[in-house]
Structure 1
Amino acid sequence: MRFNWNIFKMVFLLIIVSGLYAFTNNRSKNKEIKDLKIEFVGIDNLYLTNESVNKLLIQNYGSLKNITKEKLVLNTIEKVIEANEMVKSAQVYLTVDGELTSKIVQRRPIGRVEGITKFYVDDEGKRMPLSKYHSARVPIITGKITGESLEDVYVILKHINSDEFLRKNVIGIHIDDVDKYQLKFRMENFVVNLGGVDSLTEKFNNFKAFYTKANKDKTLEEYNMVSLEFDNQVVCTKI
């Protein structure tokens, strides 16, 4: 019986590869965390700090430095970070250099409710607590705060944030009743009666056309009430 060198070579190669894989895998598991890196992704990262995230991790895990990779469950760490009410999402991974990196997207407030309970409304329409690190410059929401009215306010806020003129000038939304919302502007003394959240694009376009003309004619100060409640009309009340 002739000895098959080709089979011998394949078996030997397989043993070598398996050994290298086992060695590398074992070495990877035993790799220790050398440093922690927290990176905030996106803009307006003002409501959470590196120190507060570090404190959160220490409270849950103690010091993560010098812990081996084998003892880490990255998905669990992500969930711990995402449990913070200022966090929208988190991604945690270990680099080849042993650096545990956390990429965090913070939530973004677009309105602030001033009622018995104070909180933000974020860009997904969810409640977001106030931050001790920063106070957002967003429209103040007052009046009859209910779950239904906040849903409408979120619709109004989305329109405001999608328009540069409105975003710069609207500083407040007052909830007078269901389907009765008022806007307060930064530089003007009049109140805008918006009515309900129907036909918002048309209402805001009509208002901007009125504002441009009245500003050109220098008559804005003559009005104390501007109503957009009626179909395709801007009804003004003079002082």
Structure 2
Amino acid sequence: MKRKIKIAVWIVVIIGIIAALKYADYRFKKQELNEIIIDIDINGSEPLIDEDEIRELIQQGHDSIQDQEVGQIDLQMIENLIMTNPYVLSVNAFINMDASLEISVKQRQPLLRIFNSAGDSYYVDYEGALLPLHPTTSVYVPIASGKIDGEFLPSLTYRRFDTITEDQCRLVLVEEKLFHIAEFIKEDSLLSELVAQIYVADASHFELVPRIGDHQIIFGDAFDSKEKLTKLRYFYSEAYRQYDLGIYKAFDLRYRNQVVCVKK
């Protein structure tokens, strides 16, 4: 008998807890939204998004969100609206315990700026996504120019390659080769400061333009990119201490285990 009473008591307690939680949830959802808190992580880049733009996007789905009850706010719709901004990489929206809407936005980080043969200019970010130029802000990244026939398609994402073999090169877009080379350059602090531009002489021949000096760096095609850039880094870090690099017009990275210097 006592066992049955204990079970009955526990059932009543559990039902009471569930009812209390449901009532608390009901009361919480009936509260009016307190405030909107926006946090933007610019991800190490120049700011391409601001709070006002995020608030404008939110208002597209909620005319007067500040007066709405918490339970009426569609968080998924808010996230979808914010993701329509081309510079947004990710967004997380939630209601906190103070009945405030918290929105965390992570900005895309441009890696390279492309000037194509059609006269278009756009960024490629670290994910391989194509971004339009910002109307007021320029981002300090290497430039790619020359014979680049691809067009700006916002829905396009370039493929990421850990390596590109010599056989693969004929199957890979020029822009994807540029993305591949630029990734390796950006990984190295010295090369990031050194390389100002990647010039496309043709689909299988790339040249690097340094920020300092009037020489050219002959890169060749995109295969063995990491090896070529590792050679270049070592060459610059050592050769500047020992030689007058001003007497050379070109440094050629196309030969295995060496940098060929061409005098003026």
Q: Do these two structures clear the TM 0.5 threshold for a shared fold by scoring above it?
A: yes
Q: Output the CA distance in 1 between the equivalents of 2:89 and 2:245.
A: 41
Corresponding position of 1:139: 142
Corresponding position of 1:70: 71
Q: Output the CA distance in 1 between the equivalents of 2:100 and 2:148.
A: 46
Q: Output the CA distance in 2 between the equivalents of 1:122 and 1:7.
A: 61
Which amino acid is the alignment partner of residue 39 of structure 2?
Answer: E
RMSD: 2.0
Q: Output the CA distance in 1 between the equivalents of 2:250 and 2:218.
A: 7
Deviates more, 1:154-163 or 1:197-206: 197-206
Deviations 1:66-115 (A, max 9, x none): 21122112122111111210000000000110110110110000110123
Alignment of 1:197-236 (within 5 A): 197-236=222-261
Q: Could you say if the C-alpha distance between residues 5 and 125 of structure 1 is closer, same or farther in structure 2, counting changes exceeding 3 Å?
A: closer
Deviations 1:212-231 (A, max 9, x none): 44422342111122211223
Residues 46 and 133 in structure 1, CA contact (< 8 A), matched pair in contact too: no
Alignment of 1:1-239 (within 5 A): 9-10=9-10, 12-13=12-13, 16-41=16-41, 42-44=43-45, 46-115=47-116, 116-147=119-150, 148-239=173-264
Deviates more, 1:6-15 or 1:16-25: 6-15
CA apart distance, 1:29: 1.7
CA apart distance, 1:9: 4.3
Unaligned runs of 5+ in 2: 151-172
Q: Output the CA distance in 1 between the equivalents of 2:12 and 2:203.
A: 79
Q: Could you say if the C-alpha distance between residues 15 and 209 of structure 1 is closer, same or farther in structure 2, counting changes exceeding 3 Å?
A: closer
Which amino acid is the alignment partner of residue 40 of structure 2?
Answer: F
May I ask how many residue pairs the two structures share in their alignment?
A: 236
SS in 2 for 1:92: strand
- Larger radius of gyration between Structure 1 and Structure 2: 1
Segments ≥4 residues shifted beyond 3 Å: 4-19
Q: Could you say if the C-alpha distance between residues 7 and 140 of structure 1 is closer, same or farther in structure 2, counting changes exceeding 3 Å?
A: closer
TM-score (norm 1): 0.90
Q: Output the CA distance in 2 between the equivalents of 1:18 and 1:84.
A: 41
Which amino acid is the alignment partner of residue 135 of structure 2?
Answer: K
SS in 2 for 1:105: strand
Residues 185 and 229 in structure 2, CA contact (< 8 A), matched pair in contact too: no
Deviations 1:20-66 (A, max 9, x none): 23321211221221101110134336111111111111233223212
Unaligned runs of 5+ in 1: none
Residues 121 and 128 in structure 1, CA contact (< 8 A), matched pair in contact too: yes
Residues 251 and 262 in structure 2, CA contact (< 8 A), matched pair in contact too: yes
Q: Output the CA distance in 2 between the equivalents of 1:87 and 1:16.
A: 45
Q: Output the CA distance in 1 between the equivalents of 2:177 and 2:11.
A: 70
Q: Output the CA distance in 2 between the equivalents of 1:12 and 1:225.
A: 85
SS in 2 for 1:110: strand
Residues 111 and 141 in structure 1, CA contact (< 8 A), matched pair in contact too: yes
